Each structure stands twice: as C-alpha cells, then as structure tokens.
Structure 1
Amino acid sequence: MRTRTPHHYLVNNAGNSAQTPLGSTSVETVDALFAVHFKGVFFLTQALAPVLTDGGAIVNLSSGLARFAGDGWSVYGAMKGAIDVLSRYLAKELGPRGIRVNSVAPGPIATDFGGGTMRDNEQARSHMAAQAALGRVGEPDDIGPLIATMLSDRTHWITGQRVEASGGTLL
C-alpha cells in the first residue's frame, strides 16, 4: 500500500500574462488566464488539501494589479483579485485544521515574468521605479523572504490576509 507523503506548505505561484484591452481581447486569452490564475490555484489546492499537515500554510500569489489599475491588464488584475478573495474563503474553510492561507501581492518585480520587461527594459523599469515610494522596482529577493516568512511559524496568527510587497507602488 502506498502512503501519501504529508506536505506542510503550498505556494501557488504559477503565472502567465497577456494584455487584455477592452474591445480586442479574445475568449481564448481570457480562458487561458482564468485556467492558470484561478482554476489552477483552486484545483491544486483542492487536490493537495487532504495531504497538507494540520497547522500548515498556503501562500497564493496575487499582484499589485489587483489594487491599482494598469492599462490593458483588466483580466489579469481581476484574476489576481479573485485569488485574494479565494484566499480568505480557503482560510475560513481550512482554519479548523490550523492551516493558514494568505495571499502575497508583489508589485513590479525584475523577473522573466511577462517576457522579462521589468528585468530587461530600462524604460519600463524607470517608469515603475518612479511610481514606487522606495524608488525602484522589486527584485526576487524582495519577495522570496516574505513568502518564507508567511509560511513560517512566526506568522502563526495571520490568515486570510493579503500582504502587498510593492515598495509602495502607487500609494
């Protein structure tokens, strides 16, 4: 008989991007964003919840675009807003098992996401840096430690929350 390996943590971090201006966005584009950003999170969590240890933690990746509007990003931003809401519902549902569920919402981060624009395009980086209270775009090392902290026992009393890590973008 095969035994299921228990898991202490789940980080839902899959993502894709596409601009979705009103009037020129296809059903296929919306479906692709929905499949990754909502259905993927929901169904992976549903599949793994039975093997998550009591007292474990889940972090779902949201986005600053769920708070501030960027031109042409309405569907992506709405999907990330849905993740914030889903995280609260999951926190309530998994709370009796002591499983904490939160969302982390990065602002512009210099990664390969979206074709690496924030990493590689100096004009885009400068524009977004000017929008941030801390005067720069984020780096992966600005987000990883936050996710690790949200999974740790140091945040044992935090659940159902959205934590934005954007350097104060568009305050």
Structure 2
Amino acid sequence: MKKRMWLILPILSLIAFVFLYLVYDNKGFEYGLGCKFCNKQMPYSLKPVFHSGYPQSFYLKDEDDFELVGIGFRYETTNFKIKNFIAYGYNDTSVVVKCTDSLNTIRYLTSYETGYKSKKGNPEISFKDLSDSDFEKVKDKYQWFNIDKEKVYAVDRNKFLFILGALLSLILIVWRLFKLRSKKATN
C-alpha cells in the first residue's frame, strides 16, 4: 500500500497542477498574457497584450498584429492622447475601453467599423469617444476586465508555479516508476 501511495500522490498532484495551470492560462487571456490552451475570442479577432518590458503597456491588437488601442494612441475622432489603459469590456459585437488622458481625466472609447476590410476579409475597426452618459447606458452590456499590473503579475506567477509543480510531479512519477521497475527486475 505504501508503494502505491508514493505513486498515487504524484499522479494526483500532477492532475491538480495541470488543472490549476489551465485555469490561470484561461485567466491570462484577459490580462494580455496569451492563452495557450483556450479558445477565447474578442470581437473582430482582437487580442489583449500586456508588455512587461520598459515601459510597461497594455494594448489591443487586431488579427494582423496591428496595435489598435493603447497608451500613447490618439484617434482622428478624439482630441486626447491615451495616458493610461484602465479597463476594457467587450460583448459579441463591440469593445469599450476605459482610459485616462494627459490630465488624468477618465475617458471612454468605443469601437466602430470603418467600412474597410482587413487582409483576411474581416471588417476593420477604430475607436471613437463615448460620453459618460452614453457609457452609463451601455456599461452593463459588456464583460469588464480591469488592467491591474499586480493582478497580471499574480496570474503570470501562478501559471509559472503550477507548470513547475506539474513538471516536478511528472519527474517524481517517472522516478518512482523506474524505481519500481528496477525492484521488479532484481526480484
């Protein structure tokens, strides 16, 4: 029984670590960390991206890897430059961005189709100002994600720790199997 327990515990821990990795991998999509094992999609095939280098930034990219909205962006229809990306929300048909301008005033941008097509034939989009009153009317129709750098780092750290735990569990399983095999060979 004791021999089996030394094999069962690493197998159970491997399953738990893989499950937790998949949970955090799924959460990583919203925070711009990418998602290796999920199929989440935003409208217009946008992808959130968190750049952890200097300077740190968060932006949304389209399917052609063009940055559509992020820190430092200014649009033809807006009279401000984005200083900080606070949050974004999306539903099946559009995206709303909550950001600040150079005066730290909270601003809202909403996506709209430009009338042009991308290289892949999908509609191209841009962003325009959304007034505070219009935002209050539509905010409940979106799934929202706050971009908190501490939370991004926590998700990234947890992904790393859980994949490391899974690898160590796998090594322990292989080691135990070799040990059991060598004992059987000597008997």
TM-score by length of 2: 0.23
More strand by share: 2
Structure with bigger helix share is 1
Compute the TM-score of the two structures, normalised by the length of structure 1.
Answer: 0.24
Larger Cα-atom Rg? 2
